[in-house]
Structures are given as structure tokens and as C-alpha cells.
Structure 1
């Protein structure tokens, strides 16, 4: 094997992409601690976006290799769940910051929205509470509208070179499909429960302890279920994962932990300035700050996850790629929402409910409705190019129309909030129709998810007729 193609050389290339950012951060820390007497290095906005973006790219390759290597020793679903948490950790950090600022500033359901005469601190706190919800809903909708849809189309196109067995050619307009492993029924089942609950969150006027207990409890139950599952039948790997999987104990787990630790650290430190740089560039072009925080910042924070999935699909591992996307959606739709109230209460100095206005209620409803529709698409464990494009068109048309309303670019006779409610209704109606048509598939999916729960507590599965 050529030295340039050796797996360790590939790892070195990925690490090299992170070196400019790592070296800069380390140098500035040494300056701050007076270890080095020099002027800190500060990049211009465009340079910082480039340096941090390249670092995120390198870290995403390392993260993907770590998850694939881990599959030799732990259930694939658990390895992918860890990957998903690390990949979207910056999104948690951004949302936690807004929730903390809201609590520290005294935002409550009674005080918000802040009326005339309110202190500047309270006004900013109420705004931070709304931004926490906006950033969270934007991230979730991006993950489906761009992530699920884009990766499905990419998988079908890439299959021409990879001969991915998960892709099936079918007659009809854009009818080629990506078939998914029925093992994802567990993730889909838990996501279905979280989505149903999300419709009720706005009715309480804020995110409270009940939301935290139920949503975080759902995710912890999911982790228990998948970690008690069996290690999957060994799947053939190539390149870096194959090389590390050949290592003996304890070196193989040490390699996994190193890949996870370093990539997670890089993603956590680089994504925030990457997202902030994009926000600044967007504002320079006249894009409203609120719009940037809801869409551009989450898009940047989701980039590691999307890059990882592209890496997996490029290796004809589309099933693992979709598992990662669904696992990311599940942890964002449970842990991310559930922990906002906890962070808010810690900053508030006591129990509190994270408040949000009616606009953010509509944002939560459309996000839940989009998830409902997307699950209706996946319930039969297939997604066609036509379905993927439908998800994308519904998502991007709403974003563009809302931008036109905010910027008053066209005479659209509805408010932004009314637009969101309209799209939410459309998502629910189409999703309900799909679930009705595919009611047998829904029954099978829920049965397989229930079997995973039974297996986790040592009971025998009872829905094996749906496993094939």
C-alpha cells in the first residue's frame, strides 16, 4: 500500500485540515495566560469562516471514522447516537446560551412579551427566549428539509458509481427509492412519540418541567433500548475504519475515543465562530438578524452532521447515513427542547418556564407538522426521489415566502405567523393522508419498535412478521 494511501495518512490529512484553527486557538490561549508575550491572532470575518469551515470538514471525517470503527464493539445504533450528539453539540451550546440569557434576565411567561416601560434587560431576556425557540425550530426543520431530502437525492445519484444495494430503480417519474433498514423502526417510533407531544408544547405558553421530563425521559429510554441491543452482524468496512477495527483490545476502543474526543472538541470550538461569521456576512448583505439566527446559524451547526452522512453515503453506507440523520433529529427533538427549560431555570435561580410568543408557537407547530409529514414518508422504510423533493420544496418555499414577507419584497396578503400556520396545516393534512394509505406500514413500524423495547427488557419479540 502506498504511504500516501495508508489509513493513518488519511487520518493525518483530516487532522491537518484542523491545524490552522487548532494552532490559532492554542496560540491565543497561551497569550491570554501570559505564557507567550505577543499579540493575539484575529482573523477577518471571511478568513475565519474559511479556517473554521475547513476545521469542521476535517473533524467530520474523523467523527465518521470513529463511529464506523465503534460498530465492531457496540450496537451500530448506539455508535450513531454518540456521533449524532457530538455532531450537533454546537447547536445545544447556542440554544443553551439564549436560554441562559433569558433566565438570567428574568424572562417569564408573565413578564413576556415585555410591554412599555419594561427595562432594557427584560426586553433582551424576552427576545433571547424567543431566539432560543427560533434557533431550535430552525435547526430541526433544516435537518429534515435539507438533510433528509438532500441525502436521499444524493444517495440515488451516487448509487450509479457505488452500486449501493439500498437504492432501487423503479419505473415512473423520479420513482427511484432508497430503502432503509427496518432496524431504524426504534428511532422512528421514538421520534413519532416526540412529534405527537410537540404539538401540545405551545399550549402551555412555554417549555416547562413536564416537557423536560417527558422529552428527556423519551431519549434516555431510547438510549437504554439501543444499548441493550446486540452488536450488529459485522458489516464490511474499508479504509480507515477497517484499519482501526483490526487493532486488538484495548487499542481499538482507545482509537475510537481519541477520534470521538478530538473531532468533538474541534466541532464544538469551530462551529460557533463559523456560524457567527456567516451571520455577520449575511447581515452585511442586509439579511435580518432574527432570520440569520433561525436559519444560517443552525445550517452552520448542522454542517458536521451533513458532512458525516455524505461520507457514509459515498461509501455506499446509506443505511448508516440515514440512521445518523434520524438519530440527530430524535436527540434534537427531545434533548434539545427538554434541556432548554432546565438551563433557563438554572439561570433564573429557581424553577421557571421558558416563555415564547405566539410567533414561536407557530414555529413549533410547523416544525412538529414537518416531522409528522416526514415520518409518514419514511413509515414504509423507503424514500423516493419524488418524496425527497416534496419535502425540500415544502421546506424551501416556506422559508423563501417568509423572507419575502419579512423584507416586504412582494405583496403577500398574509402575515408571517399566518403563513406558518397554513404550512403546518398542509403538512398535517398530507401526512395524515399518507399515514392512512400506509396504515399497515405504520402498524408494522410501531410493532418493530415495540419489539426492540421487549428485547431490551429480556422478553421475546412478537412482531417478527414485520421484520422482513
Structure 2
């Protein structure tokens, strides 16, 4: 083996990418926005490789789904931090449903720092950042990784990619073992439609959504350790070590990569925001789209690493797990952070625009799940996810910032409702045609739960 290709050399290279950021962070050195983006971005890149290697190595000793779930939580930790910051500011500033109802949208948007109206603005930003991150994960993440998997299959011969006749007909098949993740995400998605009906994100949402994720973890952690896939490179090297060494390596890689991602992504995202603001990009647009895009980068890099190894099932597992923990833990913890800062159990308020944002995010998730419910996603379906996402964001930006029209905010809300209806219409039509697959998903998920508590599984209708 070439010395440059030795696994430890690859690990050293990944660590070296994080070294400049370690120095900057530890020394408190202040850099310009451009240099900060470069240094912190390299740290995120290096940490993403370390995180992927840690998760793959862990599959030797724990169920793969659990290893991927840990990976997903670490990869999206920066998203939690950004949302927690806005939720804290909202609570500390006294934002509440009654208080925010006293202000107009313009007063909230242009509020002076330190006022109650500014706290209401922060509450809206918390929701905007959360919905933006979730829609990016599907519209760019799921769609982009599907494209990348099909393209990579020409070089990796990924068995999960099926070549089919017709334009954009090639498809990525997904292992049926992901039924539990898909079923839990489906339940969370249906519940998300009800979140705005209570006037904000409150304690009931926290109990139900966090409880849902805890139940999911309780099921997958009791799963069997699967027969290990054949690994190569760094994971294969560490998996050959004795168990105590493997465990130490996995914990070390998880801890270090998690710390790097947690500390580097916020400056990375903030640097991008500042650069965007310098060029006249609106703050709300930066918070909803650019900052989440930066904070989602670790998991997208990790998934790309997995796909590059022809491990597309593990890659989609990571994407679905990331979506599940954002759609449950992220929403639930927002209310907890807000209540702590508020000084009492309260409900994080948001305006009509954010209500529409939550509904379109839930509708997009519903549409995406209707595509994945039969355990595959074609290039054509991935293109539909991408086009619907991009067209909505681009059209709204034109309405709000480019075109000179009367009452653009009202039109943007109407646009969100229109896309919500479109997602629901398309998703319902697809789900009706695939209702047999929907039944199979929930039967398999139910079997996973039965096995976790020591009960016998039931027969799965339509199983191979």
C-alpha cells in the first residue's frame, strides 16, 4: 500500500484540515469574513470525514441505524445551536403570543434591538431558520444525493442503483430496513401540520415530538448488529483493532468531529451571512437559506463520502435520520430553550408567514415520503423535488426583492399556500397509488418495535 494511501495518513490529512481552526478558536484570533469562511469551512470538511469514519467503524459493535442516528445528531448540532440562539433571544426579550400580537409586521421587521418587538422578530427567525434547514435537506440534500448516487454508480457499480430504460428513469433503491425511520418521519410530518394551530411551539409539541424521537432511538438501539458490510480504507483499518481500541477510536472521532462542527459551523455560516449582507442580500433570506445551507454542509459531505464508497443505503439512512431528528428534536428543543429564557413554560410565537412556512415544509416532507415509500427514488423524482424547491424559493425572492408590486408579503404567503397545496396534491396521488407500500412500511416498523420489546413479528404482506 502506498504510504500516502495508508489509513492513518488519511486521518492525519483530515485532522490537518481542522488544525488552522483549532488555532484560531483557541487563541481567539479575529479574522476577516473571507478568511473565517475559508478556515472554518476547511475544519467542517475535515471533521465531516472524521465523523463518517467514526460512524462506519461503529457499525462493527452497534446497530448501523443507531450509529447513523448518532452521526446525524452530531452533523446537525450547529443547526440546533443557531435555532437555540434565536429562541433564547425571543424568550429573554419577552416575546409571547399576546405581546407579539400588539405589533404590526412592519414594526417587528424593523424593531430596534432590545425591544419586545425585536424579540418577536427573533422568534420568527428561529422558525424561519428551522423550516429553511428542513426544506434544504430535502430539496437539495435528498435530490442532490440521488443524482450523485446515480452518477457515481457508473464508476462504483453501486448495487443500489437500477438502470432503467427511458429518460431520467434510473433509480436508487433503498433498503427496506429503513422502514422504521420512514414510518417515524411520516408520523412526525403529519403532526407538524397541527403545530401552528396552537399559535406557536409549546410544551405539548415538545412532549410529543421529543417523545417520538426517544421511542425511535429505543427501538433501533435494541436492534441486532447487522453482518458488517465490507468496509475499505480507514473504517476497515480501525475495525480490525481489538474492541477496546475500536470503541476508544469511535468515541474519540465522534467527540472531536462533533466539537469541530459545533464550533466551526456557526462562524462559517455567520461569515457567509456577513458577506451576503455586504452585497445587499436581505437578512431574513440569509437566515432562512444561507445559514442553514452552511449548517447542513457536514451531513451532506458525510453522505457524499458514503455514496462515494457505494454505500448509498447508509447515505440515505443518514439523510432520513437527519430529517427525523430535525423534525422532532429540533422543534421540541426550541420550545424548551425559549421557556428557560422566558422564565416560565411558554409558547414560542410566530406570525402568519411562519405558519405558512411550517405548512409548506410539512407538505414538502409529505411529498418526499410519498416518493420514498416504495423504497426507491428515481432521477425523475429527484428532479421534481429539486425543481419544486428551487422554483418556490426563486419566485418568492423575485416577489419580495426584485419586482415592484403592491403588497408583496401577502403575495409571498399566498405563494407558500399554493406550493403547500401542490405538494399535498402530488403526494396524496402518489401515496394512493403506493398504498400497499405504505402498509408494508408501517408493518415493518411495527415489527421492529415488537422485536425491541421481545415480541414475535407478524408476516409482512408483499415482502420479498
The question of a shared fold, defined as TM-score above 0.5 by the shorter chain, is answered with yes
Matched, 1:19 2:11: no
Matches within 5 A, 1:51-130: 51-115=39-103, 121-130=115-124
Detail structure 1 runs of 4+ shifted over 4 Å in the superposition.
Answer: 116-120, 410-414
Once the two structures are TM-superposed, the CA of residue 115 in structure 1 deviates from its matched residue by 2.3
Matched, 1:308 2:296: no
Matches within 5 A, 1:152-163: 152-163=146-157
Instruction: Give the secondary-structure state (helix, strand or coil) at the position aligned to 1:42.
Output: coil
Q: Deviations over 1:84-138 (max 9, x none)?
A: 0000000000000100110001111111144279985201110010000000000
Q: Distance in 1 between matches of 2:280 and 2:420?
A: 28
User: 1:155 touches 1:318 (CA, 8 Å); kept in 2?
Assistant: yes
User: 1:71 touches 1:231 (CA, 8 Å); kept in 2?
Assistant: yes
User: 2:206 touches 2:336 (CA, 8 Å); kept in 1?
Assistant: yes
Q: Deviations over 1:165-217 (max 9, x none)?
A: 00000111200000000000000000000000000111111001111100000
Q: Which moved more, 1:277-286 or 1:89-98?
A: 277-286
* Cα RMSD, aligned residues only: 1.4
Q: Distance in 1 between matches of 2:257 and 2:394?
A: 34
- Tell me the equivalent position of 2:414: 418
Once the two structures are TM-superposed, the CA of residue 410 in structure 1 deviates from its matched residue by 6.4
Q: Deviations over 1:355-397 (max 9, x none)?
A: 0000000000000000000000000000000000000000000
- Tell me the equivalent position of 2:239: 245
Q: Distance in 2 between matches of 1:114 and 1:452?
A: 49
Matches within 5 A, 1:336-375: 336-375=330-369
**Per the alignment, do residues 108 and 411 of structure 1 end up closer, same or farther by CA in structure 2, a change over 3 Å counting?**
closer
Structure 2: tracts of 5 or more residues without a match = none
User: 1:108 touches 1:355 (CA, 8 Å); kept in 2?
Assistant: yes
Once the two structures are TM-superposed, the CA of residue 24 in structure 1 deviates from its matched residue by 1.5
User: 1:113 touches 1:126 (CA, 8 Å); kept in 2?
Assistant: no
Instruction: Give the secondary-structure state (helix, strand or coil) at the position aligned to 1:110.
Output: helix
Matched, 1:280 2:274: yes
Once the two structures are TM-superposed, the CA of residue 429 in structure 1 deviates from its matched residue by 0.5
Q: Distance in 2 between matches of 1:17 and 1:160?
A: 30
Q: Distance in 1 between matches of 2:330 and 2:50?
A: 24
Q: Distance in 2 between matches of 1:111 and 1:319?
A: 47
Structure 1: tracts of 5 or more residues without a match = 29-40
Instruction: Give the secondary-structure state (helix, strand or coil) at the position aligned to 1:111.
Output: helix
Q: Distance in 1 between matches of 2:63 and 2:235?
A: 15
Q: Deviations over 1:216-245 (max 9, x none)?
A: 000000000000000011110000000000
Q: Distance in 2 between matches of 1:18 and 1:137?
A: 29
Q: Distance in 1 between matches of 2:348 and 2:166?
A: 48
Matches within 5 A, 1:250-269: 250-269=244-263
User: 2:440 touches 2:460 (CA, 8 Å); kept in 1?
Assistant: no
Instruction: Give the secondary-structure state (helix, strand or coil) at the position aligned to 2:264.
Output: helix
1:173 to 158, 167, 174: 167
- Tell me the equivalent position of 1:46: 34
Instruction: Give the secondary-structure state (helix, strand or coil) at the position aligned to 1:383.
Output: strand
Matched, 1:433 2:429: yes
Give the number of aligned pairs: 456
**Per the alignment, do residues 463 and 410 of structure 1 end up closer, same or farther by CA in structure 2, a change over 3 Å counting?**
farther
Q: Distance in 2 between matches of 1:355 and 1:115?
A: 13
Once the two structures are TM-superposed, the CA of residue 310 in structure 1 deviates from its matched residue by 0.3
Normalising to structure 2: TM-score of the pair?
0.96
Q: Distance in 2 between matches of 1:115 and 1:185?
A: 45
User: 1:275 touches 1:297 (CA, 8 Å); kept in 2?
Assistant: yes
Matched, 1:133 2:121: no
